[in-house]
């Protein structure tokens, strides 16, 4: 009887510890206060394209501003369909506050207080400046409203337990320290910001362990694609040793490699997005990739 009581007590302690450690975090008060300030929608358009919002949340590349939910994505843990993030008040995020949007970006928590699965690249977006998040919010508010909900993720047990994502975050979510807006006048620093933050290049180009966490020591060295088909390129200076900065800029804006090949798959969508960026942004990315993380 004593042994049974001890087991029950241990189980209760374990459940309590799990519940405490997996609790969704609250938005940093300073970020919440900053999100109350008005954003610049014109600046937010650039953030929109470099962040690749349309690549996941638009059903069609022909209508990239209709963010009613994207096509199903294959991941090692099962399929997931990006949700509706249009300003529709019922099916999208039209009724969200600026603070709720920032909480999703920085903490990976939705308006209902539930963990978002890290197929949404908030570990990278966590490096975005508050000004960029605020401007992105202002831009999204002006896009077309789209009706319709995406189906729930098709993850199997235990990966379908949202609360368990809180434990994953404790293992892999970087420390929250949003930088000030980085000036394009320093191309390497600005390129680092674009690559590590809104551009979220490491989400595809950094290998992951068995739990889906990025292996920091191998950042940007190339990885299996989330679908399990193909591998992303090594975009460290080693992997790009035969590419010049102008080669990188050309590839990012036209999709043409120095060998005359065309970038396909997910990179084709990346190129479509980056084609909207100012030249200095592309130049900064190329300078940083050649300089090395």
The pLDDT tens digits of the residues spanning 36-93 come to 999 999 999 999 999 999 999 998 888 999 999 988 888 888 899 999 999 999 999 9
pLDDT for res 59: 87
Among 44, 50, 41, 48, residue whose Cα is nearest residue 67? 48
Looking at the fold, whether 149 and 97 belong to one and the same domain comes out as yes
Is 204 a domain residue? yes
Q: Is the peptide bond before 158 cis (omega within 30 degrees of 0)?
A: yes
- Which residues of the chain fall below pLDDT 70? 1-20, 227-228, 293
Both 32 and 131 in a single domain?
Answer: yes
The predicted pLDDT at position 259 comes to: 87
Let me know if residue 175 belongs to a domain.
yes
Domain count, the chain: 2
Of the residues 149, 181, 213, which one is the last residue of a structural domain? 181
Domain that holds residue 189: 182-293
Among residues 181, 216, 241, the one where a domain terminates is 181
How wide is the angle at C-alpha 123 spanned by C-alphas 77 and 278, nearest 5°? 115
168 and 187 both lie in a single domain:
no
- pLDDT number for residue 211: 86
Q: What is the pLDDT of residue 285?
A: 96
pLDDT, tens digit (0-9, with 9 covering 90-100), for 240-256? 999 999 999 999 999 88
Per-residue confidence (pLDDT) for residue 108, from 0 to 100: 95
Is the same domain home to 156 and 100? yes
Residue 97 lies in a domain: yes
* 216 and 172 belong to one structural domain: no
**pTM (predicted TM-score):** 0.90
Q: Which two tokens stand for residue 19?
A: 């519940």
Which of 129, 146, 181 is where one domain is finished? 181
The span from the CA of 47 to the CA of 234, in Å, is 25
């Amino acid at each position: 009887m004593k042994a049974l009581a001890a087991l029950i007590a241990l189980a209760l302690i374990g459940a309590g510890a799990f519940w405490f450690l997996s609790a969704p975090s609250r938005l940093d008060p300073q970020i919440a206060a900053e999100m109350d300030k008005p954003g610049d929608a014109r600046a937010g358009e650039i953030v929109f394209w470099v962040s690749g919002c349309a690549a996941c949340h638009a059903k069609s590349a022909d209508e990239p501003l209709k963010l009613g939910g994207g096509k199903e994505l294959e991941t090692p843990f099962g399929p997931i369909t990006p949700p509706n993030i249009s300003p529709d008040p019922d099916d999208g995020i039209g009724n969200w506050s600026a603070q709720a949007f920032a909480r999703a970006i920085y903490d990976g928590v939705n308006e209902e207080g539930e963990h978002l699965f890290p197929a949404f690249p908030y570990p990278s977006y966590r490096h975005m400046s508050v000004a960029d998040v605020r401007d992105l919010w202002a831009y999204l508010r002006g896009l077309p409203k789209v009706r319709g909900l995406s189906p729930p993720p098709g993850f199997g047990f235990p990966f379908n337990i949202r609360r368990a994502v809180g434990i994953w975050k404790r293992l892999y979510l970087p420390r929250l320290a949003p930088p000030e807006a980085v000036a394009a006048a320093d191309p390497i620093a600005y390129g680092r910001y674009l690559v590590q933050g809104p551009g979220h290049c490491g989400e595809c180009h950094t290998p992951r362990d068995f739990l889906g966490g990025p292996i920091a020591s191998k950042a940007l060295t190339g990885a299996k694609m989330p679908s399990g088909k193909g591998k992303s390129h090594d975009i460290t200076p080693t992997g790009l040793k035969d590419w010049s900065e102008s080669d990188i800029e050309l590839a990012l804006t036209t999709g043409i490699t120095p060998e005359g090949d065309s970038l396909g798959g997910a990179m084709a969508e990346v190129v479509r997005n980056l084609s909207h960026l100012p030249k200095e942004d592309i130049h900064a990315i190329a300078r940083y990739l050649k300089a090395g993380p």
